[in-house]
Structure 1
Amino acid sequence: MSVKKSSVTDIFGVIAPSYKEKVLRFNLQKVKKKRSDKSKPPFSITAEFILRFNQTKNPKEKKKLLDLARKILLKCKRKLGLSTLGTGEHVHLPTTWIEISYLAQCKGQIQDEALNVLYASLDHASFYYDHPPALFFLAESILYRLCCDAFLKPYLYSLEIKLAKIGYLISLRLFIYFLYGHLESFKEHLLRLQPFLYALSFSGEIYYMYPNIFSNVQVILKTMDIICKRELPSDSIFSRVENKNQHEGTDSHMEHLQDNQKSYEVNNLLWHCVAAWTCVQKNSPHLNNVLEHLTFHKTQLQNKCWMDSALALLVLGEAAKLNMACLKTLMDIMRDFLLTIMSVQNQKENGSVDFSWAWIIVSIYITILTEICLYAAISNLRKTAFIGFCDCKSSKKYILPLDKSEEQPELRETSFLGLLDYFSSKMSDNCDEVIWIGYYDLVYNLVKMSWELRGDEEQDGLRNVIWQTLQKTKNHEKDERIHNALNIAEAELNDPTDPFTRVSSNAGDEIFSKYIGWRVANILSKLLFPSADILPLKKPLIKPHKTKYLYKKQDAMKKKVLHFTVREHPSVIDVPLFSNPDFFTKRDEELTRIIDHYWEKELQIRQKEDAICEAKERKERELEEKKHFKEIMKKREEKLHKQTKPYELPPRTEAISLEGKMISPN
């Protein structure tokens, strides 16, 4: 018994604890595994997922990974707020931008859809403080793919067009943050971009025959050049390259950079364009005066430092979508610019004047004019932007075949058809780059407009004119560069055939920027006119981001390491780019509220007084009517000896007596 007992004791006293430890260890490992599984969301993008997606050849696994990628894409669309213009409690743009950039590394249709979603989000998103880190990450990713992937391919792919368009939106947003003075703490990010910008500066030979891409690349380089000169030391790589290519005679109104103050001053043309847009938004009576001053500064469009001019056209184009006077001013400014450029280039004596950059302004203007033709507020604005202010009968000559016996047309107005007629008449093998690039962009945007207007019954007339004009161009134009524009536009729309005969289309693709112009105009108006109800007509001498109304800057953000795996983050409340209103704005609002309160009381008192007066007048009218009626009855009684009212029968007894008298005794 003792042996058995001792053995039992050994079993429960020695063996059992070791078994408990094993069970505890197993449970701990299980719990840790569950926690690790919970830390990774079910739809997360990792390096392993991207490699498996791109390299797998198993059909079942490929289908499973494709379904998972589509679920991730749907989640990103919701977090980007595509249906709500980037607003909502579920929206967190910086994290989702990085996540969608990772998803864009999956080849095939997922890559195209991810880039389309990213382009649409960057187009309509608002400006917030927490965006610059994510924008720098996107800029580095896009430039890396352009310089290291796209340059090595022997042919042009639609992917390069999308990357260039996304890079254009990113650089435009970073330039706005630069104007606000919010990029001072991002010098390390700018230094990381410099090798890619250096490589991109040599892309002229690659993209020269594709102006739609080359213009976006030039905007990227120009904005980064201005930002780097302002934020980085003078011995940086990119600034040295740009200084070698820099021409003398820079306009001081266009770009005023000083080492001691480190300030950037916008030119008068941009300032007045923002003022015109603000007048249109507030329905101000000062719009005509602002447009007159704007026309006075139209020669600044000819300055070589063209970034402010591009922004000015973008802002004025947004005002032209709402107001006919702004549209006419925009077209007049561009007409004067083109006539000046062409006259100077025709004079071979003036070889010292360099307008090699003028084609960029022309390309940007044609894109803005195309957006006005599509998205203007009323049909009259869309029609005027496409046909012009002249007689509509003259538009028939754009549809009919060209007659070589006719004289070359003059540039009367810079509508879409007016530019098409002007540039097509001057096309030749050795024509100036402004002419063939302008004609190229017009044909390129014609194809894209026809695709955008598909299925829109309200604009059948415009679509028919576009179709007839495009068919005439296809049939009668022999220049390979123009046919190249047709092919690239159709390839960008993911349709190798005629876009007019297509049956199905992807409605989610964004081919034009619909909202970035309005976002830029709105944020610039808050910078240049922070609390002005009545716009001054002269530009202030102070720098825009040195005023006392400048919005508060965000505190220096802590450096964070961006891991390759993107996890779910709790939603962060978006901090607006501008702070609470200042003292003067609050005082004006309080005075307005008090005036409205007392005005409501005054209206109530007046309504009571009016009601009393109406009741008094009603009583007086009734008394006069009664008095008048008594006078009539008195006169009737005197004349007819009757007390009955007119058209009133006598009493029944009186009627019976009268009847008895009338009956004869027989």
Structure 2
Amino acid sequence: MSSNKQPVINKFGVISSSYYEKLFKCNGQNLYKSRSGKSKPSYSVTRECILKFNHTENLREKERLKEQLTKNILRCKRRLGLRTLGSGKHVNIPGGWIEATYLAQCKGDIQEEALNVLYDSLDHASFDYCQLPALFFVAESVLYRLCCDAFQKTYLYSVEMKLAKIGYLVFLRLFVFFLHGHLGGFKAHLLRLQQYLNVLSLSEETYYKYPNIFSNVAFILKTSEIIYERVLLSESTFSPNGNTEGYENVYSDMEFQRHLRFNQGGYEVNHLLWHCVAAWSCVQNNSPKLNNVLEHLNFHKTQLQNKCWLDSALALLVLAEAAKLNMVCLKALMDLVRDFILSIMSAQNQEESYKVNDFSWAWNIVYTYVTILAEICLYAATSDLRKTVFIGFCGCKSSQKNISLKDTVSEDEPVLREASVLGLLKYFSSKISENCNQLIWTGYYGLVYNLVRMSWELRGDEEQNGLRNTIWQTLQKTKDHEKDERIRIAVKIAQAELNDPTDPFTSYGTKVPPNVGDETLSKYIGWRIANTLSKLFFPSIDACAVPLKKLSIKQVQRKYPKKKEDPMKKRVLHFTVREHPSKSELSMFPYPDLFTRVDEQLARIVDHHWQEELKIRQKEDAICEAEERKDKELKEKNHFKEIMKKREEKLHKQTKPYELPPRTEVISLESKERNVRKVTDYRFSTKIVQLQTGILKLPPSAIQ
């Protein structure tokens, strides 16, 4: 199988180092050159070492080799920067991917650990143009393992599932690079992948019962189909100044008109993806235009039904990142998918329209959304977001009442009110049957499969005990009442993929500390893609969407040599305020180009007219409030007059109900008190006169 165009691969799937050295070069620079300039390989794992480890029968030799390979895995983790999200001086992402791919050729625990390291790095690593050769190497290795090794086995293996997940992340990254127009120089690499992709397209019967793998395979095939059509069959490149005829009447956004299309018959990004990226940018920048963007997104929700579903899946992935931070975006995401499912189901009921439109691909969107729900439920910013995506906006009292199983379903037709986890679980469980649509049982399968993984990832997290208990109770109720074998397989597949000695259904009370990089769901790839696409669709002045390869230090020194200063000359620097302004006054950005200045000027004009309109509206509102206040006062006066008139007619009194008695009554009381005082004073004076004249005599006791 060795030739000039084909890699040298032995029967164990190990690619030779000679092909490796020819393949991985980026712009004429060897990837394994060290900082000192000396050439050295970026890996120490050789083909002989792998073969010896896989086939040796000597236990001591096997333990020695395993110890050496374990050290290589630890070094690979450090090189990939698993604890620093791929950043740092010690990080070499392409070299780490290659070394992890080599280590994945080993058998046993080394293979499992290497695949986990590779998956975690592909999830959180940033996008860089220099990663493309390594990406194609990983893609070729994964496709070779799937086509030449996995298909020959009768049973499904956990390694097979991990390879499918890694392949999904690799082709997802390749599609993002394709949107940036960076795959034009890698046609030879694409041609090498074509033979494996042709074999992979025949795997529908093999993976049809396992949507968790089949969805990844479908994504790989759809992505490769688009890339091959645009890169190999046409010479299309990305151009921000594409043709925008037919879109001016719908939108007047200049950014959208400039960055929507690919020129020369290339790939066209749909409105839905563009507005999802815009919503994510608004959430990141705390922009007040978020509601307007979501209104436009709702206007284009029918584009989710397009047969080219790759953009729709990418749009949901980006909108989910905004939903992890914002409740309004979460509501928009759930409503978008709810309307999509209802429209597909209504089209299925009308057999003629269903056959014409051919919605056989719709299950890919539903399964992608179900996986996204699990990611939001685990990694959302607040507990309210996590609770809402699981239970829904209805404010249910108990999660146990949300699952209507088949034996307790009422005769009424089930209605999908919310696309939450429990809402979809209730809807799919009531619709599932042996002859049901693939969308129904695939969505139900994905929910149960992801619930098992969510319960496993929440182990040992005391803050999430409530959510984990709810998930566990939901799974137990589903397992007890669901008799469909496809759904029961979902639980077994998830447990086999986790390959954990502690059963999440029985040992939920035991504390298992979660390890770094031990996640089974993608945690960072959505954020990386949203960030990269936002820079592509809304480019700033000083930012590049995907950074190209940086010039080496030697090239920079050769291009800009330092001038030698004469040591005999002494320079005296005179600092003044005018010559050296403060740091805050210096411009941190280069002078903007023409389009940027036009956009800024248009924004200032729009803001000026908006401020004037706001002032006019404020004046009109003040006039309306004054008139309403006068009318209200007049109504109160008339109402009070009517009350007083009725009181006078009934009680013959003109006093108000809450007034005190008139002043005359108070005066009469005071006069009575004065008269009483006068009478007492008169009596006392008469008694004194009688005592003086002898008429009245005191008793002897009083005199003493």
Give the TM-score taking structure 2 as reference length.
Answer: 0.67
Give the Cα separation in 1 of the matches to 2:432 and 2:406. Answer: 13
| Contact 1:276-1:319 within 8 A present in 2 as well | yes
| Contact 1:450-1:467 within 8 A present in 2 as well | yes
Q: Which amino acid aligns with 1:527?
A: L
Tell me the alpha carbon deviations over residues 217-241 of structure 1, each in whole angstroms, 9 at most, x when there is no partner: 1111111111111111379xxxxxx
1:316 alignment partner in structure 2 = 319
2:479 alignment partner in structure 1 = 474
Is residue 411 from structure 1 mapped to residue 412 from structure 2 by the alignment? no
Shift of 1:399: 6.0
Shift of 1:550: 7.1
2:401 alignment partner in structure 1 = 397
Q: Which amino acid aligns with 2:364?
A: I
| Contact 1:43-1:68 within 8 A present in 2 as well | no
1:174 alignment partner in structure 2 = 174
Say if 1:581 and 1:102 are closer, same or farther in 2 by CA, change over 3 A: farther
1:636 alignment partner in structure 2 = none
Q: Which amino acid aligns with 2:358?
A: D
Say if 1:257 and 1:221 are closer, same or farther in 2 by CA, change over 3 A: farther
Residue correspondence of structure 1 range 197-346 to structure 2 within 5 A: 197-233=197-233, 261-346=264-349
1:381 alignment partner in structure 2 = 385
Q: 1:463 aligns with which of 468, 471, 480?
A: 468
**Structure number with larger C-alpha Rg:** 2
1:53 alignment partner in structure 2 = 53
Shift of 1:96: 1.3
Shift of 1:263: 2.5
- Identity within the alignment, %: 67
Shift of 1:585: 8.3
Give the Cα separation in 2 of the matches to 1:554 and 1:392. Answer: 51
Q: Which amino acid aligns with 1:421?
A: K
Give the Cα separation in 1 of the matches to 2:154 and 2:70. Answer: 31
1:118 alignment partner in structure 2 = 118
Give the Cα separation in 2 of the matches to 1:123 and 1:519. Answer: 9
2:537 alignment partner in structure 1 = 528
Residue correspondence of structure 1 range 63-142 to structure 2 within 5 A: 63-142=63-142
2:645 alignment partner in structure 1 = none
Is residue 450 from structure 1 mapped to residue 459 from structure 2 by the alignment? no
Give the Cα separation in 2 of the matches to 1:330 and 1:405. Answer: 28
Say if 1:581 and 1:136 are closer, same or farther in 2 by CA, change over 3 A: farther
Say if 1:119 and 1:101 are closer, same or farther in 2 by CA, change over 3 A: same
Give the Cα separation in 1 of the matches to 2:547 and 2:531. Answer: 19
Tell me the alpha carbon deviations over residues 413-435 of structure 1, each in whole angstroms, 9 at most, x when there is no partner: 10000000000001111111000
Q: Which amino acid aligns with 2:363?
A: W
| Contact 1:420-1:439 within 8 A present in 2 as well | yes
Shift of 1:393: 1.9
Shift of 1:509: 2.8
| Contact 1:119-1:510 within 8 A present in 2 as well | no
2:498 alignment partner in structure 1 = 493
| Contact 2:276-2:297 within 8 A present in 1 as well | yes
Count of matched residue pairs: 499
For 1:518, what is the secondary structure of its paired residue? Answer: helix
Shift of 1:313: 0.2
Runs of 5+ unmatched residues, structure 2: 1-37, 236-256, 557-587, 601-704
Shift of 1:164: 0.4
Give the Cα separation in 2 of the matches to 1:326 and 1:257. Answer: 25
Give the Cα separation in 1 of the matches to 2:89 and 2:275. Answer: 37
Give the Cα separation in 2 of the matches to 1:42 and 1:319. Answer: 38
Q: Which amino acid aligns with 2:460?
A: G
Shift of 1:172: 0.6
Say if 1:60 and 1:322 are closer, same or farther in 2 by CA, change over 3 A: same
Give the Cα separation in 2 of the matches to 1:224 and 1:51. Answer: 32
2:183 alignment partner in structure 1 = 183
| Contact 1:490-1:496 within 8 A present in 2 as well | no
Say if 1:424 and 1:345 are closer, same or farther in 2 by CA, change over 3 A: same
Give the Cα separation in 2 of the matches to 1:318 and 1:78. Answer: 27
Say if 1:486 and 1:298 are closer, same or farther in 2 by CA, change over 3 A: same
Q: Which amino acid aligns with 1:451?
A: W
Shift of 1:549: 8.9
Tell me the alpha carbon deviations over residues 582-635 of structure 1, each in whole angstroms, 9 at most, x when there is no partner: 6328999xx9xxxxxxxxxxxxxxxxxxxxxxxxxxxxxxxxxxxxxxxxxxxx
Tell me the alpha carbon deviations over residues 180-227 of structure 1, each in whole angstroms, 9 at most, x when there is no partner: 111110000000000001111111000000001000111111111111
Q: Which amino acid aligns with 1:65?
A: L
Give the Cα separation in 1 of the matches to 2:537 and 2:261. Answer: 18
For 2:269, what is the secondary structure of its paired residue? Answer: coil
Q: Relative contact order (C-alpha < 8 Å, sep 6+): which is higher?
A: 1
Shift of 1:347: 1.1
| Contact 1:359-1:438 within 8 A present in 2 as well | yes
Give the TM-score taking structure 1 as reference length.
Answer: 0.71
Q: CA RMSD in A?
A: 3.0
Say if 1:221 and 1:43 are closer, same or farther in 2 by CA, change over 3 A: closer
Give the Cα separation in 2 of the matches to 1:149 and 1:423. Answer: 35
Say if 1:145 and 1:43 are closer, same or farther in 2 by CA, change over 3 A: closer
Is residue 439 from structure 1 mapped to residue 447 from structure 2 by the alignment? no
Q: Which amino acid aligns with 1:584?
A: P
Tell me the alpha carbon deviations over residues 421-477 of structure 1, each in whole angstroms, 9 at most, x when there is no partner: 000001111111000000000000010000011111111111111111100111111
For 2:352, what is the secondary structure of its paired residue? Answer: coil
Give the Cα separation in 2 of the matches to 1:283 and 1:515. Answer: 21
Give the Cα separation in 2 of the matches to 1:280 and 1:198. Answer: 41
Shift of 1:500: 2.8
Q: Which amino acid aligns with 1:444?
A: Y
Q: Which amino acid aligns with 1:135?
A: L
Shift of 1:113: 0.3
| Contact 1:371-1:514 within 8 A present in 2 as well | yes
| Contact 2:124-2:523 within 8 A present in 1 as well | yes
Give the Cα separation in 1 of the matches to 2:94 and 2:280. Answer: 29
Q: Which amino acid aligns with 1:513?
A: S
| Contact 1:388-1:413 within 8 A present in 2 as well | yes
Give the Cα separation in 1 of the matches to 2:543 and 2:42. Answer: 47
Give the Cα separation in 2 of the matches to 1:425 and 1:405. Answer: 7
Tell me the alpha carbon deviations over residues 119-160 of structure 1, each in whole angstroms, 9 at most, x when there is no partner: 000000001120101000100000000000001000000001
Shift of 1:398: 3.3
Give the Cα separation in 2 of the matches to 1:42 and 1:511. Answer: 28
For 2:435, what is the secondary structure of its paired residue? Answer: coil
Tell me the alpha carbon deviations over residues 481-525 of structure 1, each in whole angstroms, 9 at most, x when there is no partner: 001000000000003773233566873433000000000000000
1:561 alignment partner in structure 2 = none
For 2:415, what is the secondary structure of its paired residue? Answer: coil
| Contact 2:428-2:440 within 8 A present in 1 as well | yes
| Contact 1:398-1:469 within 8 A present in 2 as well | no
For 1:392, what is the secondary structure of its paired residue? Answer: coil
| Contact 2:460-2:513 within 8 A present in 1 as well | no
Say if 1:375 and 1:585 are closer, same or farther in 2 by CA, change over 3 A: farther
Give the Cα separation in 2 of the matches to 1:530 and 1:379. Answer: 33
For 1:393, what is the secondary structure of its paired residue? Answer: coil
Q: Which amino acid aligns with 2:399?
A: S
Shift of 1:581: 6.6
Is residue 423 from structure 1 mapped to residue 431 from structure 2 by the alignment? no
Is residue 353 from structure 1 mapped to residue 353 from structure 2 by the alignment? no
Q: 2:591 aligns with which of 577, 583, 587?
A: 583
